[in-house]
Structure formats: C-alpha cells, structure tokens
Amino acid sequence: MSNVVFIPNVDRDERIGSAFNHMFSIIYRTEEIDDDTVIWDFSNTTFFHPFFLAPLILYKNRSQKNIITVKKSVNIDNYFRLIYFDDMLCFDELADLENRLNPYKRKTYIPFCRFDLCESNIDGMQTIIQDIIEVQSNAGREIKTPLSYMLGELICNISQHSDGKYGYIFSQCLSHKEKCINICIADDGISVFGSYVKARRYLDIINSNEAEALRLANEGYSTKDLPETENRGFGISTSKRMLVEGLKGDFFMLSGGAFHRHDINGSDYVKLPEMMNWMGTIVLLRIPIDVPQNFNYIEYVIR
C-alpha cells in the first residue's frame, strides 16, 4: 500500500462543516496506512478554506504518524510559514503575542495560535486577537460585543470543561467571498462526552451516545451547576443562538465521536462511525461581518 495521501484543494465550505467531508477522508486514509511515515502530497492544491485548514493543522500536529508534506507550491509554502502550519504560534507573554500579531493587521488571517489553558492571560490573549480580527474584517463597531461574548464564552468553556492542556484559535476573514469572519476554536481535551462521563452527570440520558452528549451541551445542560440552581450551561447555547438567530451566521462543533451543525437551514447531530474519533473539541464560527440593524445581543444572553 502506498504511503501517499493526496490532499484535495478544499477552497470552500458551502455549508459549515462540509470541509470535514474531505477531512474525515484524509484522516481515514492516513490512519489506514501501515507505515509510520505518511506523505501528504499537496500538488493539487492552490487555496484552503480556513475550516479545512484548521482541523488539518490540528490533526497533523497531534497524529501518531510522522506526516511529511511535499509538493507545496511556493505560494502554499509561504502561506504555511505565515500561519505557522508546522509548529503553531505559541507565546509566553502577551507583549510577545501582540508584537508577533501586529504585522497580520494588513492580512486577512491570523496564525494558528496555541495557548496554555492554565495561564492567567487568556483574557488578554483574546483581546489582542480580537483587535486584529476587527481590523482585518473592517466590520462596524456593532460586531465588538457579540464577538467578545462568543469568544469569551467558548474559550471559557474550554478552560472549565475540556481537561485539556492547550487551546487553539485560528481565524480568517473572507470579506469578498463570504463577507464573513471564520473563526476556529479548539482544545485537546476529553471531549464533551468525556466531560459528562467524568462528572457522572446525565449519563442515563446520554446512554453512551456521543451525539446525545453534544445535544445536551448545546441545550445548556451543565456538569457544574450549583446544587440549588441551574446557573451554568449558558455559554454554548447562548453563543450559538446569538450567532445563528441573531447574526444569521453558522455554527459547527465536532467533539470526540460526534458533531453538530446549526445554521439557518436547521440543526443536526451526527454520531460518527466507531473508527472515527476526534481528539478533543473543535468549534467553527462563521460570523457575518454586517450585523443586522435590529440586533440586540442581550436578547440572546438571557437563555
């Protein structure tokens, strides 16, 4: 069996998460190869949609296989260097992050960033990255609060529930093609299903079905409520409503053995075949740059 996997030119993501059709195929073919070394051949590629590129980077960096990338064009090679495809942008101090991201204000993307979930500077990191995204997108001031809210809640979720070591964030503004900000947030933790199992909460409802676990999380059933009140579990559900109903955007979440997609066409949960499992959780947000005139973020924070 050849140890070469040809990487397709995934330059679009028609309905959010559709890029995973190609991603799952790449994972499956890579894992099927007996050799510890796998060649990813990029000879057919010219551009990647961020929702394909982000999981590709994550998978490559965490795979047990030794993955070697070959036949990248000069443009792709340069782009991969700028987004830290092979090694991810890591930082210790916020000043370091700010200095390294400032040149990206003139671009449409930020590098693929990795951050330590135990660090106390996660809020500062978000502020720096969000400032860059807002400049890149040239969006109006109305985007600031919903963007702060969604980033804040989803990254806080990672810290609180993933039990992972690192979080990841990647973003690209496709102002002309989609008029959207595409953001990917991920972790390397125990997955949504894993967090319910660890907390021993709602296991009778979940019944070992990871898609059910994802549904519970997205409907706001938390593992960490206070005994006397349902005070938690609002992060994902309110962020998703704000994005999909309020901003007319799209939401996708892949965690362990299941994924969820919610857009204007509806809401689906999918349990993956047993042999497919994603390490941790990855969330994709497609955020329209133009905020609807009657949008009021508070309406979506309430429940």
Partner 1 sequence: MELIGSDIRSRQNADRIRNSIANYDGVVELDFNSVEFISRSFADEVYTIVNENRDNVKLKNMKGIVDSMMSVVADSRTHKRVRKTENSFIFEFSDIESLSAYLATF
Q: Which is nearer to partner 1, 21 or 102 (CB)?
A: 21
**Residues contributing to the site for partner 1 (CB under 8 A):** 14-15, 17-18, 20-21, 24-25, 28, 120, 122-124, 126-127, 145, 148-149, 151-153, 155-156, 159-160, 209, 211-212, 215, 218-220, 226, 229-232, 234-235, 237-238, 241, 262, 266-276, 298, 301-303
CB 8 → partner 1: shortest distance, Å? 13
Which contacts (CB < 8 Å, 24+ apart) does range 228-236 have?
234/153, 234/301, 234/303, 235/153, 235/154, 235/156, 235/157, 236/153, 236/154, 236/157
Residues 154, 183: Cα–Cα separation, whole Å: 11
Q: Which is nearer to partner 1, 29 or 71 (CB)?
A: 29
Q: Quick one: how far is CA 155 from the chain centroid?
A: 10
144, amino acid identity = K
Q: Which is nearer to partner 1, 63 or 145 (CB)?
A: 145
Q: Which is nearer to partner 1, 25 or 99 (CB)?
A: 25
CB 279 → partner 1: shortest distance, Å? 18
CB 78 → partner 1: shortest distance, Å? 31
CB 242 → partner 1: shortest distance, Å? 11
Residues 43, 5: Cα–Cα separation, whole Å: 11
Token digits of residue 153? 């809640």
Q: Which is nearer to partner 1, 76 or 151 (CB)?
A: 151
Residues 255, 198: Cα–Cα separation, whole Å: 15
CB 83 → partner 1: shortest distance, Å? 25
